[in-house]
Chain A
Amino acid sequence: MSLLNGQIALVTGASRGIGAAIARHFAALGATVAVNYKSNAEAAQQTVDAISVAGGSAHAFQADVSDEAQVRALIAAVLKLHGRIDTLVVNAGIVRDHLAALMPVADFDHVLQVNLRGAFLSIREVIPAMMEARSGNILTISSVNAETGGRGQCNYAASKAGLLAITRSLAIELAPKNIRVNALAPGLIETDMTQPVRDLAHDELLRRIPMKRFGTSQEVAQAAAFLVSPMASYITGAVLNVSGGLGLQP
């Protein structure tokens, strides 16, 4: 039997990058996946199609996770279609990098709104259904930057550190109802989002990674599958770095 057989999983921001990889991997392991996207319907459909072609089951759901009404409608729509949500992967995130002195307030706010407020809204709306089911998995996709910080990323790092605080707080809050809450902290992963920084400082970045290579979305997805699977049934409030050792040394 596959690791996630029978699970209903909602992955936010799953049209591309790590979210899409998680959606595909979960489906390959037997989960039925709700693929959330904000604006790129074509990419979301590609994720859904890739899952379908591989014999899995997925549907695309449009919603801006920073919008309360849209998140409420998203969760209601997934529940209407599938009857329950076993796993929520809070992945939707953006970057707006600038040195702090040059960072427009709008860019600071926007990153916090999507990465942090969006996470809170998604989790808040799914809690009632998980409480009723007496089980659930919530996985937040943070970043090693939450611990290490990053030049030009005070907004992003703050949002990802905030995600860890949400993860730990809710792990305590929801444990009595058998809902586990964990976080992944990816390092430098080969995605569209990290392409500019990898182009800019490829060799310098590799020098900072003990494993001397960038990670792949698939490697993040594998760690995600472990944390939401029965294999991790006694793990909650944990942060799992998927970083090739990035952040372990100065």
Chain B
Amino acid sequence: MIIGRIEEAKPGLVLDHHAFRGDSTAVALPERLLELAAFLFEEGFQQLLDVTAVDWYERDPRFDVVYHFLNLTTQDRLRVKIRLREGQAAPSLTGRFHSADWSEREVFDLFGIPFTGHPNLERLLMWRDFPGHPLRKDFPLDGGDAFCTGDTGTSYAGRPCSMEL
């Protein structure tokens, strides 16, 4: 429903969309995310519930950054995804949604995705000089600690890797 309205008002803003059991997902270009967020805000999607990311290790735009919006009046939910190559920055939504502040810091901490326009882009969970980004598929599950899993240098997906990502 909301996706139809976006396509009507702003053609080309949604690259792709699908729905599963009533959960709608829209895929957008990173460059036009702020425009989409502004439109969604006017449509009533005024709460940003979560920002997270997915590492599709072998896909070309390696990362998905996933935004979950809630429409407070109609209780509709919308998931927005943008695709990013490694090192490519996402635009920060902190200008419009304050809840994006810590969520984006968490994504930056655990996936190493930078956010342009974020007021304080520091690690949230790990400490400042922690090496690497733990939720990347090529991060070793044991974090380089040989007594943890006993196969240091191998990631969760079984690929060789190093701590300096």
To the question of whether A and B form a pair in one complex, the answer is: no
Residues of chain A touching chain B, judged by Cβ–Cβ distance below 8 Å, are none
